[in-house]
């Protein structure tokens, strides 16, 4: 699993790269601070199913948890 710095992610967003960005924070963490990265989808890991992963294999995926 590779890591990306916030500055690198901003550059990718600014260039319009085709990214899937997921905020996977626990619901308690999310509700305490509901701000998300622009374009990110809030999708806590507790709700993911096996078929959710298979639909993402053709995109660059960024996952963050806080």
Rounded Cα–Cα distance for residues 22 and 61 (Å): 8
- Sign of the torsion formed by the C-alpha atoms of 6, 9, 46 and 36: positive
Tell me the per-residue pLDDT of 35-61, one tens digit each, with 9 for 90 and over. Answer: 889 889 888 888 777 776 667 777 788
Q: Residue 3 pLDDT > 70, yes or no?
A: yes
Burial 49-62 (b: 16+ CB within 10 A, else e): eeeeeeeeeeeeeb
Confidence of residue 1 (pLDDT cuts 50, 70, 90): low
Closest CA to 37 of 1, 57, 66: 66
Q: Element (H or E) spanning 20, and its range?
A: strand 19-23
Tell me the per-residue pLDDT of 5-24, one tens digit each, with 9 for 90 and over. Answer: 999 999 999 999 988 899 99
Residue whose entry in the numeric block shows the structure tokens 């507790």: 46
Confidence of residue 64 (pLDDT cuts 50, 70, 90): confident
pTM of the model: 0.78
């Amino acid at each position: 699993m590779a890591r990306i710095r916030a500055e690198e992610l901003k550059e990718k967003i600014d260039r319009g790269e085709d990214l899937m960005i997921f905020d996977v924070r626990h619901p308690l963490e999310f509700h305490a601070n509901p701000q998300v990265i622009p374009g990110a989808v809030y999708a806590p890991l507790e709700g993911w199913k096996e078929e959710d992963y298979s639909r993402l294999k053709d995109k660059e995926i960024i996952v963050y948890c806080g």
